[in-house]
Amino acid sequence: MRPKKFFSVAVALIFFSITSLASAGQTLDAVMARGFVKVGASGNLPGFGMPDSKGIWRGLDVDTGRAIAAAVFGDASKVKFIALTDVQRFTALQSGEIDVLCRNATHTLHRDTALGLNFAHPTFYDGQGFMVPKKLGVKSALELDGASICILPGTTTEMTTADFFRTHGMKYKTVVIENAAELYKAFFAGRCDCTTTDRSQLASARSMAPDPSDYIILPETITKEPLAPVIRQGDEEWTNIVNWSVYALIEAEELGITSKNVDKMLRSKDPRVQRFLGVIPGLGKDLGLSDKWAYNIIKQVGNYGEIFERNVGVNTPLGLKRGLNALWTNGGLMYSPPFH
Ligand SMILES: N[C@@H](CCC(=O)N[C@@H](CS)C(=O)NCC(=O)O)C(=O)O
């Protein structure tokens, strides 16, 4: 080989190893060595993330964490949930205390850039609303001039509330409480006129009220809150695993694959189903996982629709309709890229 050519091949090789090192699967390696995924969760949010009376974690965010464990280990139980407040959540991810955050976190530009984070596909499209005691007689957020409002620090809500009141020439007094359980206790005890956050969380909070029918969620939705799992930047392999685990939940619903029929679907003649479930091999290797990764998610956790209905749907205390969270084929925003 001529020296010049040798030099350029060597430079290319060094460049290749540096770039592949930067995106090497540090997180997957650490998770595999440890034997379970560390998932940052809420702890205070029925329907999204909270241990039940037997100490078993339940919720849509929690099931997303379980789906990731099922993809990686073929076992949805290989996961540990760590309760974090809004203020703690991103630091816990940056410092490596957790592998992924599944906790009603809104995807924003600042978090995606300055905080060094990556966001997977949203697991819940939400928007900010206001909740007030019915006895106040308030029917619209535009009647809240002068209200005292309970708000959690470290949230998108702090800034967007200020924006909303400024835009409408109204004033308000903030009552800041870091812990959500304490905040709702304060609100239900009448320490503030109003509380504001993502509408799904207001529904979740209302389900914990001494009498939920004493509170109403006002009609205005003042922001976009796409809630998504969060990972650190710099590990493309792990980002892909988390992102495609979410896509698998959505794609399974679109393909009509559920936890109940997934074994029958192994015999489907549809090549999309065969590839998805690993009957036609290949999709696992691309992610560094077994070809059964998506099968394991659906078998053990269910598809997106099953997770939604079980945790937050119309037959749960939250009573939420699919709305924006319906599949794109039903007029919603849940859309997975193709699995091939
Ligand atoms: N989605 C917004 C708001 C998140 C938020 O407000 N979360 C609170 C609202 S209730 C919460 O998680 N509470 C439960 C907890 O702190 O455990 C964000 O990412 O900043």
Beta carbons of 123 and 228 less than 8 angstroms apart: yes
Regarding the beta carbon of 61 and ligand 1, being less than 6 Å apart is answered no
pLDDT recorded at residue 2: 52
Closest atom of ligand 1 relative to the 204 alpha carbon: 10
Closest atom of ligand 1 relative to the 45 alpha carbon: 14
| pLDDT at 17 exceeding the cut of 70 | no
| pLDDT at 3 exceeding the cut of 80 | no
Confidence of residue 178 (pLDDT cuts 50, 70, 90): confident
| pLDDT at 12 exceeding the cut of 90 | no
Looking only at the bridges linking them, the beta strands covering 79-83 and 37-41 are parallel
Regarding the beta carbon of 300 and ligand 1, being less than 6 Å apart is answered no
Q: What is the pLDDT of residues 186-211, one digit of tens each?
A: 999 999 999 999 999 999 999 999 99
Which residues are within 8 A (CB) of 251 and not within 5 positions of it... i.e. 6 or more apart?
276, 294, 336, 339
pLDDT recorded at residue 25: 75
| pLDDT at 22 exceeding the cut of 50 | no
Q: What is the average pLDDT score of the chain?
A: 93
| pLDDT at 326 exceeding the cut of 90 | yes
Give percent of the chain with pLDDT exceeding 70.
Answer: 93
* 155 C-alpha to ligand 1 centroid (Å): 6
Which residues are within 8 A (CB) of 195 and not within 5 positions of it... i.e. 6 or more apart?
130, 131, 149, 150, 151, 183, 184, 187, 202, 205
* 207 C-alpha to ligand 1 centroid (Å): 16
Question: Which of 1-10, 211-220, 256-265 is the least confident region?
Answer: 1-10
Regarding the beta carbon of 245 and ligand 1, being less than 6 Å apart is answered no
Q: Mutation test of ligand 1: which of 44, 86, 194, 223 has the most ligand atoms closer than 8 Å to its C-beta? A: 86
Higher pLDDT pick, 259 / 13 = 259
The residue contributing the CA closest to ligand 1 atom 11 is 180
Q: What is the pLDDT of residues 55-83, one digit of tens each?
A: 999 999 999 999 999 999 999 999 999 99
Question: Which of 6-20, 136-150, 204-218, 318-332 is the least confident region?
Answer: 6-20
Q: What is the pLDDT of residues 233-246, one digit of tens each?
A: 999 999 999 999 99
305-326 mean pLDDT: 97
pLDDT recorded at residue 165: 97
Closest CA to 39 of 29, 52, 53, 49: 49
Q: How far from the centroid of its chain's Cα atoms is residue 65's Cα? A: 9
Regarding the beta carbon of 161 and ligand 1, being less than 6 Å apart is answered no
Question: Which of 22-31, 202-211, 259-268 is the least confident region?
Answer: 22-31
Closest atom of ligand 1 relative to the 104 alpha carbon: 1
Backbone angles phi, psi at 176, to 5 degrees: -95, 125
Summary count for the chain: helices (H), strands (E): 14, 14
| pLDDT at 181 exceeding the cut of 50 | yes
> CA 239, 243, 249: angle at the middle one, nearest 5?
155
Closest atom of ligand 1 relative to the 154 alpha carbon: 20
